[in-house]
Structure 1
Amino acid sequence: MKILIDASRAVIENAGIARYTRNICANLAAQDKNNQYDFLVTFARLDKEKIRQINNLSKYGKVIVRRIPGNFKEFLWQKKWAKIFFNHWYKNYDLFFAPSFLELPQFIDIPAILTIHDLTTFRFPEQRGQEVSQRLSRVAQSACQKATQVIAISEQTKNDLIKFCQIPKSKISVILLAAESKFHHKKLPKENFILSVGTLEPRKNVPTLIKAYALLPEKVQKKYQLKIVGGVGWNESNIFITIKKLKNKGQVDFLGYVSDKKLIQLYNQASVFVYPSIFEGFGLPVLEAMQCGAPVITTCVSSLPEVGGMAVKYLDKSGDSQKLSQLIKNMLASQKLQQQMSQAGIAQAKKFSWQKTASKTIAILDLL
């Protein structure tokens, strides 16, 4: 078969779906010797980073670049009449693969596979604002209905597809994600800091982490800095309001976006990794941290137990800053516990790989 993948987000973004797109493209092309893969990339403006990502994609197949602004594409891809102008992009292929719901056009005639990462706009419409959430939820539901088969990245996402989009179970396949192999345990000296990773937005629950940190004994705060990695998302003002109330404000370090090289170093050197998310479709930072040998504390919600298994410490209620503070304190107080959780995390992380993810995806593609 000739398969077209919309790999745009692998070129124009750096967050979770971009990582998924890059890895699934590379691993499908590397493993699948029976099908041909081409990659569609759309954007408005070209720059050095896009050129670098396009060159990387071209190692795995033909890259087709089309100039179209993202918001214009989102609008047109929902209009069946747009077929007149854009269907020739797709008509010479046997199958189309959309790594997220924004990439699936309503006008295409060929079978389509769609990956859904989460349905948080259905669950938490207030976090993005009602207007934005309603629009994205509407697009997601239309994409799921249009798709021939839907891949859910966790059992949690599968359950949400059934609940919110009324997608039949027979149309959904659960294929778990993986962390890249470059995220691995290194023999680096541990340093005195608590690490958290994630876009600064309400679902990541950073204010609860900061409150938990503030509840630690002052001598612990002075010894262990709190480092938070991640770009600014939306509705992040509560995070900085919470920071202003801290006695030891200087001990909280917002690093923003960092390179993978730096992130791997941080995972390896952290005394503990804390991920107090309210809800996840998967929870890739937890897997990356375990793979790097960091002891992990996370919340016992949504898909996170699917990822962490018995290898992490769980916070039962995501808003319980006192309990989270106690979990952090206990972890920092015991080198033995840190070593046990590190070893358990490395073992748990071995259950996941991009080879497995790609192999299961190929099996779905071959059925169509």
Structure 2
Amino acid sequence: MKRLLVNAVPLTVVGTGIARYLGGLYGALEQEAAGEFEVWYFDGSTVSRTMPAPGVPGMRERIGRILWRMPWPVAYGARLLDHARMEAAFTRAAQNFDCYHEAGYFPLNTGQSMRTVLTIHDMSLMRHPEWHPRERVEYWKRRFFDRLDRVDHILAISRFTRDEIVDLLDFPEERITVTPLGVDHNTFNMNDDAEADHELNKLGVPEDFVLFVGSGDPRKNLDVARSAVGRVQHQMPLVAVGWSGWEPGTGGVLGLGYVSDRLLAQLYRRASVFVMPSSYEGFGLPVVEAMACGCPTLVADAGSLSEVGGDGVHVFGEAQNVGALAESIEQTMGSKTFMDALRKKGVQRAKSFDWPSCARLSLQRFR
């Protein structure tokens, strides 16, 4: 039986982004590859056959906030020290495996010849370094291009990301496979959850609101959403969900921070409309989650958002266009016919995204 090694360190921290990808992918791949691959997970110190449980905000996130507010050379030095420790542990653990899958910034040093598959979520560190802390950009530049030579195949999470890779990197297109992300339809669906609803009531979530999901990442444009909601005649608050590790929260927003998937799904069901005015996305998983829960979804004409949303979303225009977003919210709220049609199309569109499909595409490359 073949042995597959996964860098699962992202699963040990806050359950967003790469952690959601790894959890969804390998939850399905373990079943798809049964009897063919043994999957082993590296947790930062050792390897195990057990997938690390998704983390919640803790010490590593608090340290991250501190580092991002320090002078970049200090934060950069701290990152390099932590990386050296982790990579040394990985090299010791990466013995007698047939394939290694990396979904972080770049592959770690295996210490031996091993087939390597790298998932690239987007090329924002190269395309828009101004959106990232400088220490992160310098860390990525230090190793990415050297380590790219060790990569046998790249998994791109959208056609948009594949095209970005082809445009920016000297990497053969025939060695890139598009593996769209999935959604857990057992969690993200239109079935109301009374217990989760009760929890949201205790958190002060109103009956009518506009929903925003994302970290404090500048490209997510929380300010655009806040300003647009402020212009809408239908007076509703903006509820924002997500770990804000990048910068302090924006005023005028009911910020819930990190919430469980169960609460997140109920927020999608309760929201009058979901907005994603992001300037750049490699995929945009919240778009699929919102559609699956029957939430009318408005997205910017940026990155992969229209590719992923298809006819299940309303594209309001450029990400920074506050007026266009406000007008689209008004249009959606003012027409039950428009809202119901968008909801119906979104639910149908979301059915085309699931983790078993992502796992099967990925498994072909691991083979």
| Number of residues of Structure 1 aligned to a counterpart in Structure 2 | 328
Q: Could you tell me whether the CA contact under 8 Å between 2:11 and 2:53 is conserved in 1?
A: no
Residue in 2 that maps onto 1:48:
none
Residue in 2 that maps onto 1:38:
40
Q: Cα–Cα, structure 1 residues 100 and 159, in superposed 2: closer, same or farther, change >3 Å?
A: same
Residue in 1 that maps onto 2:290:
289
Residue in 2 that maps onto 1:225:
237
> Whole-Å Cα distance in 1 between the matches of residues 143 and 163 of structure 2?
18
RMSD: 2.6
- The letter of the residue matching 1:121 is L
- Structure 1 residue 161 corresponds to structure 2 residue 165: yes
Q: Could you tell me whether the CA contact under 8 Å between 1:280 and 1:302 is conserved in 2?
A: yes
- The letter of the residue matching 2:213 is V
TM-score, normalisation: structure 2: 0.82
> Whole-Å Cα distance in 2 between the matches of residues 163 and 212 of structure 1?
34
> Whole-Å Cα distance in 2 between the matches of residues 338 and 141 of structure 1?
46
Residue in 2 that maps onto 1:2:
3
- The letter of the residue matching 1:179 is V
> How big is the shift at 1:103?
5.0
Q: Could you tell me whether the CA contact under 8 Å between 2:296 and 2:342 is conserved in 1?
A: yes
- The letter of the residue matching 1:163 is D
Residue in 2 that maps onto 1:199:
215
- The letter of the residue matching 2:227 is K
Residue in 1 that maps onto 2:83:
74
Residue in 2 that maps onto 1:65:
none
Q: Cα–Cα, structure 1 residues 195 and 42, in superposed 2: closer, same or farther, change >3 Å?
A: same
- Structure 1 residue 269 corresponds to structure 2 residue 263: no
Q: What SS is found at the alignment partner of 2:19?
A: helix
Give 1:148's match in structure 2, choosing from 145, 152, 155: 152
Give 1:171's match in structure 2, choosing from 169, 175, 178: 175
Residue in 1 that maps onto 2:62:
none
> How big is the shift at 1:124?
1.5
- The letter of the residue matching 2:239 is K
Residue in 2 that maps onto 1:183:
188
Residue in 2 that maps onto 1:91:
95
Q: Cα–Cα, structure 1 residues 123 and 56, in superposed 2: closer, same or farther, change >3 Å?
A: closer
Q: Cα–Cα, structure 1 residues 294 and 140, in superposed 2: closer, same or farther, change >3 Å?
A: farther
- The letter of the residue matching 2:220 is K
> Whole-Å Cα distance in 2 between the matches of residues 169 and 100 of structure 1?
20
> Whole-Å Cα distance in 2 between the matches of residues 28 and 70 of structure 1?
31
Q: Cα–Cα, structure 1 residues 289 and 86, in superposed 2: closer, same or farther, change >3 Å?
A: closer
Residue in 2 that maps onto 1:316:
317
- The letter of the residue matching 2:222 is V
> How big is the shift at 1:55?
6.3
Q: Cα–Cα, structure 1 residues 139 and 119, in superposed 2: closer, same or farther, change >3 Å?
A: farther
Residue in 2 that maps onto 1:354:
355
What's the CA shift string for 1:337-364, capped at 9, x where partnerless? 1111111000000111111000111111
Q: What SS is found at the alignment partner of 1:109?
A: coil
Residue in 1 that maps onto 2:52:
54
What's the CA shift string for 1:33-71, capped at 9, x where partnerless? 312111111169xxxxxxx973689xxxxxxxxxxx975
Residue in 2 that maps onto 1:255:
256
Return 5+ residue gaps in structure 2 as ranges.
56-77, 198-205
Q: Cα–Cα, structure 1 residues 73 and 149, in superposed 2: closer, same or farther, change >3 Å?
A: farther
Identity, % of aligned pairs?
Answer: 29
- The letter of the residue matching 2:232 is L
Residue in 2 that maps onto 1:212:
228
What's the CA shift string for 1:258-308, capped at 9, x where partnerless? 111111110011110001000001000001000111000001111111210
Return 5+ residue gaps in structure 1 as ranges.
45-51, 58-68, 244-248
> Whole-Å Cα distance in 2 between the matches of residues 184 and 42 of structure 1?
34
> How big is the shift at 1:225?
1.7
Q: Could you tell me whether the CA contact under 8 Å between 1:77 and 1:106 is conserved in 2?
A: no
Name whichever of 104-113 and 167-176 sits farther off.
104-113
Q: Could you tell me whether the CA contact under 8 Å between 1:121 and 1:134 is conserved in 2?
A: no
Q: Could you tell me whether the CA contact under 8 Å between 1:162 and 1:168 is conserved in 2?
A: yes
- The letter of the residue matching 1:354 is W
Q: What SS is found at the alignment partner of 2:232?
A: coil
> Whole-Å Cα distance in 1 between the matches of residues 276 and 122 of structure 2?
17
Alignment of 1:106-117 (within 5 A): 107-117=111-121
Q: Cα–Cα, structure 1 residues 70 and 37, in superposed 2: closer, same or farther, change >3 Å?
A: farther
